[in-house]
Amino acid sequence: MNPPLIASALLATSLISGAAHAALPSYTFTDLGTLGGAYSKALAINASSQVVGYADTTDSIDTAQHATLWNGTTATDLGTLGGTYSTANAINASGQIVGMSFTTGDVASATRATLWNGTTATDLGTPGGEASHASAINDSGQVVGFSYTTGLTRHATLWNGTTATDLSTLGGTYSTANAINASGQIVGWGTTGNGAMHAILWNGTTATDLGTLGGGASSYARAINDSGQVAGSATTGNGAMHATLWNGTTATDLGTLGGRASEAFAINDSGQVVGFSYTTGDATAHATLWDGTTIIDLNSLLDASAVSAGWVLNFAHSINDNGWIVGEASNSILGIHQHAFLLSVTPVPEASTYAMMLAGLGLIGAVVMRRKHAKV
C-alpha cells in the first residue's frame, strides 16, 4: 500500500479515536483557596460560574468563618451581620446570594437567614421565632430555608422579600426547606406524625411525603431541578444511606462506589447529580457524579498533574447546567484538610470541527491519488 495512504489512514483512525474520547467529560481542577485561613468549602455555583461557600479568615480554628464569593480564583469576603460567622449556601443567575450569619453575640439564637446583594447583607428575619437560616434562592428571588418557631421547634420557611411564610411539616414538629426551582416547587425534609424523617415536596404550602427506598426509615430531599426531578438520599431496607433520585414519588437508588453509603447534594437541568460516595471498605469518601445510570468517581477524571500534586476530591456540592462542579477537596502532601475546589469542563470540539478534519483527510487522499496517477 502507498505510504502516504497508510499515513492518511492512521491519521483518520487517530482523529476518530480522539473524537470518541472527547465525548467523555474532561475537567480542569482549580483550588479556590481561602480568605487567609486553613479551611474553605464551595457550596453552590450559578450559570455564570460564580461560586459561593465559606472560608476561614485566620488559621486559628473556629475563630472567623465568613461567607465567600469566588469569581475565578478571586475570593471576596461577604462579611456578616455583626457576628464572627457567616455562610453562603446558594447563588442565583443574578448573583443574589443567601445563607446565614450570626449577629452580634455569636449565639445560636442570633443566627439569621441572610441575603447578600454584592457585599450588602440583609437580615431576612423569621416568622416569629428567634433564629433562621436560608438554604436556596431561585432566579425570581424567592428564598427558602428554616426558622425556629418556639423552643427547639423549627419549620421550613419561604421568604418573598422579607415576608416569611411558614411551610409547616408532615405532621411532626420539625421541617426544613433545602431547595427551590423556577416554578416555586420546594424540597426538603421533616418529621411525620410518628416521628420519622421523610423527604418533602411542597407545592405552595401543600406538603407531599416523597417516601423512602424500599422500606427504609428516613429520607432527605436536597435539590430540585426545573423539570421537578428531586435529588437527595434515603435509607434502604438494611439501614444504609444511599443517594436517591425522585421522579414524582418514585424513588430510584443511585448506588455507591462500592461502599455502604452515598448522598446526593445537587441536580442540574440535564439530570446530572453530584454528591459523594464511600469507596469499597468505607474508609474514604469521594466526590461523585451520577449521569443517568452511570456512577463516576470524579477523582478518576482529574488530570495527572492534580493527582500527582496530591489532590483528592471528597465532596461535590453543586453542579451548574454547563456541568461545572464545586465542592471540597483535601491534600495530604500539602497538609490541606479542606479547600473549596472548582472542576471546569474542558470544551469539546463540535461535530463541525471533526467534519472539517475529515474533509481535510479527503483532500489529502485526493492529492495522493493524483500523484499516483501522474507517475503512471
pLDDT average, residue stretch 256-265:
97
Task: Dump pLDDT digits (tens) for 92-133.
Answer: 999 999 999 999 876 766 799 999 999 899 999 888 778 999
Q: What is the pLDDT of residue 216?
A: 84
Residue 365 has pLDDT above 60, yes or no: no
Mean predicted confidence (pLDDT) in 299-310: 96
CB 88 within 8 A of CB 66: no
SS3 17: helix
Query: By the 8 A CB rule, do 209 and 170 touch?
Result: yes
Cell numbers placing 109: 439564637
Give me the residue label for grid cell 444504609.
240
Can you tell me the distance from the alpha carbon of 270 to that of 253, in angstroms, rounded to the nearest whole number?
Answer: 18
Residue 299 CB contacts under 8 Å (≥ 6 apart), including other chains: 286, 287, 307, 312, 313
Query: Distance (Å, rounded) from C-alpha 167 to C-alpha 180?
Result: 13
82-100: average pLDDT: 96
Q: Can you give the pLDDT at residue 367?
A: 42
Residues 36-71 have pLDDT tens digits of 999 999 999 999 999 999 999 976 555 689 999 999
Say how far apart CA 59 and CA 142 lie, in whole Å.
Answer: 35
Tell which wins on pLDDT, 110 or 249: 249
Rounded CA gap, 8 and 310, in Å?
Answer: 40
Least confident of 108-122, 243-257, 271-285: 108-122
State the average pLDDT for the chain.
87
pLDDT tier, 350 (very low <50, low <70, confident <90, very high otherwise): low
User: DSSP letter string over 77-96?
Assistant: EEE-BEEEEEEEEEE-TT--
Residue 62, pLDDT score: 56
Say which residue, 14 or 299, is predicted with more confidence.
Answer: 299
Q: How far is residue 196's CA from residue 172's CA, in Å, rounded to a whole number?
A: 8
Question: The cell 487522499 sits on which residue?
Answer: 365
